[in-house]
Amino acid sequence: MGAHPDVKEGEMRIGYDSGTDGVAVLTLDDGKANAMSVDWFHELAAALDRAEREAAALVIRGRDGFFSAGLDLKLLPTLSPDGLRNLSDTFARTMLRVHQLPIPAIAAVTGHAIAGGAVLAFACDLRFALGGPYRLQLNEVAIGIPVPAWMVHIADTVVPPRWRTQALLHARAFSPIEALERGIVDGLASSPEEVLAHARAAALPLTKLPRTAYAESKRRLRAEGAERALARLVGEGRR
């Protein structure tokens, strides 16, 4: 499922396919790097609302070659201080919502997943990646941004302790095979279509889990840490 025919190249589009087996698929495709903005987060939130109503599990996939390169860097210099704070707050709350989604969420990482793109992949419960010359990288420190507490919270649930210093402090870029070897992703595929097939195959048995038990268990695992991280948002934004 590609971009909507009425959407111009470079304009964000999040496609939604409800499927027939309880597994909904969100497709991120702006024709470029799937850059994130406040409007993009609002669109994602609307898609998450729909998935919570309709689906038993959710797959989030990117376009060929890019899952997402994170925040729209061309947009950032144009924002006022209030606009930047709004973007930071919306970014954090949206990613934490994915992380606490009451249904299983699987990432089909169809290429590069950098900065916010890596965070979105980490916010999902499982990750399947496209093999090839792609990067999975939290690059915040490398570009001069301290890693926020909410991002650390999400990454800590995915990156094994042995590799957290490299991933979070050293901004190391992992290739797909390196990410698999370190337990950061759960499987590799040789084409975007195969990545999606792996993600759907992993999601399908999860649709059989009792929804209430799944949702409450995920809340107990993740909500307290998310609340602590959100409480630090204002202070971190002043540094």
140 is catalytic: yes
β-bridge mates for residue 126, sequence order? 106
Check residue 95 and give its pLDDT.
Answer: 98
R_g (Cα) of the chain, nearest Å:
17
Residue 178 lies in a domain: yes
Residue 4 clears pLDDT 60, i.e. is over it = no
Q: Report the CATH number that the domain containing residue 53 is assigned in CATH.
A: 3.90.226.10
The Cα 104–Cα 102 span in angstroms is 7
How confident is residue 73, by pLDDT bands cut at 50, 70 and 90? confident
Q: How many domains does the chain have?
A: 1
Helix (H) or strand (E) holding 189: strand 187-189
Residue 5 lies in a domain: no
Look up the pTM and report it.
0.93
Contact 158, 140 (CB under 8 A): no
Residue 8 lies in a domain: no
Nearest to 66 by CA among 103, 18, 120: 120
Residue 8 clears pLDDT 70, i.e. is over it = no
Residue 5 clears pLDDT 60, i.e. is over it = no
What amino acid is encoded at 172 in this protein?
R
Structural domain of residue 185, as residue ranges? Answer: 14-237
pLDDT in tens, 135-166: 999 999 999 999 999 999 999 999 999 999 99
Residues with Cβ < 8 Å from 152, sequence gap 6 or more? Answer: 168, 229
Residue 33 lies in a domain: yes
Residue 2 lies in a domain: no
Instruction: Given the residues 11, 43, 52, 140, select the one marked as catalytic.
Output: 140
pLDDT in tens, 40-61: 999 999 999 999 999 999 999 9
How confident is residue 237, by pLDDT bands cut at 50, 70 and 90? low
Check residue 239 and give its pLDDT.
Answer: 42
pLDDT in tens, 205-234: 999 999 999 999 999 999 999 999 999 987
pLDDT in tens, 12-27: 489 999 988 999 999 9
pLDDT in tens, 79-114: 999 999 999 999 999 999 999 999 999 999 999 999
Contact 173, 135 (CB under 8 A): yes
Nearest to 38 by CA among 60, 3, 71, 15: 71
Residue 6 lies in a domain: no
Residue 170 lies in a domain: yes
Q: How far is CA 179 from the centre of its chain?
A: 15
How confident is residue 236, by pLDDT bands cut at 50, 70 and 90? confident
pLDDT in tens, 188-207: 999 999 999 999 999 999 99
β-bridge mates for residue 23, sequence order? 57
Residue 3 lies in a domain: no
> DSSP H helical segments within 55-160, as ranges?
81-99, 116-123, 149-156
The Cα 91–Cα 35 span in angstroms is 12
Check residue 113 and give its pLDDT.
Answer: 98
Q: At what angle do helices 116-123 and 149-156 cross, to 10 degrees?
A: 50
Mean pLDDT of 52-77: 95
